[in-house]
Chains A and B, each alone.
Chain A
Amino acid sequence: MGFFIEVLFGGFLAGVLYALVALGFVLIFKASGVFNFAQGAMVLFAALSLVRLMEWMPIPIALLVSVGIMIVFALVVERLVLRPLVNQEGIILFMATIGVSYFVDGFGQTIWGSEIYTLDLGLPKEPVIILESVFEGGVLVNKFDLVAAVIAGILVTVLAVFFQKTRIGRALRAVADDHQAAQSVGIPLRDIWVIVWSTSGIVALVAGIVWGSALGVQFSISLVALKALPVLILGGFTSVPGAIIGGLIIGAGEKLAEVFIGPSFGGGIENWFAYMLALLFLLVRPQGLFGERIIERV
């Protein structure tokens, strides 16, 4: 039992990391209906900026400057990519984000370098044993994972309140539903896009910090975005809580599958298990667990 719980916990915590990346996708998709292929590249870019800036200045200032860089990035994307493509099909915007993705990958490594950098923000890393009173021997977890989970929790709460309760949040959802109608009631699309890309950039920075601390800041971080795809399909492209729940299910699912089902297949199923789960989900519930209902009036 203790072992099962330990695997489950490990899975959940890996899932939190996937969820952090998925969140960035959800934000942009929710507010503009664009699937932002560049999210992974943004995570890498944000993490690289932070880690290199930290060589020059104290951590809090480096963090602030990184946030500033992501906001400038949002402004540039709006001006150079989104504005000229206003009112185009979703697929065209998607192609544009692929372009942005390659550019950011290259640009980031050109100015910040392409080695592997260690990111040390002083987050605790030692393993601890929790729940000793409940199970014999307790459950061994990494303190760092717990910190990541708390960060993700705070981020999700803030974003959910922002979307549901604030005037800007409502405007973001309105833009997602109908660009033109949003414009007709006086919601300025440009400002909204800058806001949403900035928010998504900041989420990318948080994801970059967490992933970078765990793996080191390196190119492979941008590939983590691929793991966010099944999370999105499970949780729904438009749901902030869905990104978290989806992340947890995928994380726990793949670890449990690897440990308990894997041996009968000869192991190594962790890498494709998530995608298979997503495929099954697409067949049954294409909008995901918490995605917006597909409204059909009859």
Chain B
Amino acid sequence: MTAPATALLDVNNIEVIYNHVILVLKGVSLKVPEGGIVALLGANGAGKTTTLKAISNLLRAERGEVTKGGIEFKGERVDRLTPNDLVKRGVIQVMEGRHCFGHLTVEENLLTGAYTRGDGRQAIEADIEMVYSYFPRLKERRKSLAGYTSGGEQQMTAIGRALMSNPTTILLDEPSMGLAPQLVEEIFEIVRKLNAERKVTILLAEQNTNVALRYAHHGYILENGRVVMEGSAAALRENEDVKEFYLGLSASGRKSYREVKHYKRRKRWLA
């Protein structure tokens, strides 16, 4: 294990089953250190979203269940809590596909993020200004219905809404989805800033391996519900297999897809 021993979030060998029959995660373990940016990489259906939802406990609403293993946050078991309890403890998920409240204005969207807080109107208003300082574009659009804003603005609204809950940890699911490359960079820059300035720990699920590994400190690669590789972001970027299968590079330069050899699985901890 290259991750530090003092993990803020510790996912220990979890198995997730949907609808009592569909086995999606077959034993996933990962550690997120305090103040880190950890990336969860992999193709469609690898189990990235399911892992995040298992942590934030949104699984149960989709008839999924953690059947083995456990999840600890700050040393406390959290896998039997409700999403509401987790948000109160500082863990919030930004769902894939933004999921803004379309019929609420941008500012109302931000306010819903403060639902669990009890520290008064002033603190909440100060935090709205804080969100606007990170996302100046949202300030311009504060009165528009979120449903009519662009994809990038919705992603910003979704992240801003999560920030309003005063989180210590944000589970960020596929922030690059459906956005132009330039906007993706912009959003990741802001994520990095949030991490550096507000000490928010980030667990990020991404398909865009290239971008994710540039911003993350540490990465896990999931395949078919298993972690097949992990390491520091720098090490993963230099790994030949990762280069070939996820970054589209190889020793001999660009190759035809036909020549790609079948992936040799590396089961680090199961085998």
Contact = CB atoms under 8 A, between A and B. Distances in A.
Interface of A: 86-87, 167, 170-171, 173-174, 176-188, 292-293, 295, 297
Interface of B: 56, 58, 61-63, 82-84, 86-88, 92-95, 99-104, 108-109, 111-113, 115-116, 145, 147-148, 161-162, 165
B108 A170 contact: yes
Contact of B102 (A183, A184, A295): A295
Contacts of B145: 293, 295
Contacts of B83: 183-184, 186
20 contacts: A170-B104, A171-B112, A171-B115, A174-B104, A176-B103, A177-B103, A177-B104, A178-B101, A181-B95, A181-B101, A184-B56, A184-B93, A185-B87, A185-B116, A185-B165, A186-B86, A187-B84, A187-B115, A188-B84, A293-B103
Given A86-B61, A186-B116, A181 B100 contact: yes
Most buried by A among B83, B93, B95: B83
Contacts of B94: 184
A186 B148 CA distance: 24
Closest 5 CB pairs of A and B: A186-B87, A181-B99, A295-B147, A177-B101, A186-B116
Nearest to B95: A184
Contact of A184 (B92, B109, B111, B147): B92
A170 B115 CA distance: 9
A297 B101 contact: no
Contacts of B104: 170, 173-174, 177
A177 to B, nearest CB: 4
Contacts of B62: 87
Given A170-B104, A173-B104, A182 B112 contact: yes
B49 to A, nearest CB: 12
B57 to A, nearest CB: 9
Nearest to B162: A185
Nearest to B56: A184
A173 B101 contact: yes
A112 to B, nearest CB: 37
Contacts of A173: 101, 103-104, 108
A160 to B, nearest CB: 15
A166 to B, nearest CB: 11
B260 to A, nearest CB: 37
Contacts of A292: 103
A139 to B, nearest CB: 40
A292 B103 CA distance: 7
Contacts of A170: 104, 108, 111-112
Contacts of B109: 174
B140 to A, nearest CB: 18
Given A184-B93, A185-B165, 18 more contacts: A86-B61, A170-B104, A171-B112, A176-B103, A177-B102, A179-B61, A180-B61, A180-B95, A181-B101, A182-B112, A184-B58, A184-B83, A184-B92, A186-B83, A187-B84, A188-B82, A293-B103, A297-B147
A186 B61 contact: no
Contacts of B56: 184
Given A177-B104, A292-B103, A295-B102, A183 B58 contact: yes
B84 A186 contact: yes
Contacts of B165: 185-186
A96 to B, nearest CB: 17
A78 B103 CA distance: 25
A80 B128 CA distance: 39
A184 B102 CA distance: 15
A86 B109 CA distance: 23
Contacts of A177: 101-104
Most buried by A among B88, B102, B115, B116: B115
Contacts of A188: 82, 84
Nearest to A292: B103
Most buried by A among B56, B58, B92, B147: B147
A170 B164 CA distance: 15
Contacts of A167: 111, 115
Given A174-B104, A178-B99, A292-B103, A186 B147 contact: no
Contacts of A178: 99-102
